Amino acid sequence: MTHPNDTLIGAAPSSIVDAARLLVTPYEGRVAEYNIATWLHLPGLANLPVSLLVSYRDGDKHREVSVDHGKVGPHHKILLSGVARLPVKHKVEDMRVYLRSAVLATTLVVEELFIQALEAPRQDNRQASA
């Protein structure tokens, strides 16, 4: 499912992957959500468009979700971030974060990679008194 110009940024630890609570949505079914952000230094790719992707295994299927797109700055750096909504029928496993570019990134410096499982919103059972 990965393309020739995909470059691995990093893999999510299983403790973070397992921490996400599954939400049930009307159109996607069960979804696990993660905040993902990364600062990248990409020498040679200034002013070129790139995409941040998450690849994962769900049972026996490999899936891929787009998180963010942007253009590398003139100093060869970019911040890509967003919420990855991963549709899942079984369980999210082997979650990896990739950079996709039109030109292969021969040098990729990951200055920071942040992955956090989103928690399901809590229901507040208290009623407001008038």
**Span 51-88, pLDDT tens digits:** 999 999 999 999 999 999 999 999 999 999 999 999 99
Task: Please tell me the total count of domains within the chain.
Answer: 1
Question: Does residue 128 lie in a domain region?
Answer: no
Angstrom distance (rounded) from CA 102 to CA 115: 25
Domain CATH code at residue 111:
2.60.120.260
Q: What count of residues does the chain have?
A: 130
Six-digit token pair at 99? 């950079």
Question: Does residue 126 lie in a domain region?
Answer: no
- pTM value? 0.85
**Span 77-123, pLDDT tens digits:** 999 999 999 999 999 999 999 999 988 888 899 999 999 998 755 55
Other beta carbons less than 10 A from residue 2's beta carbon: 14
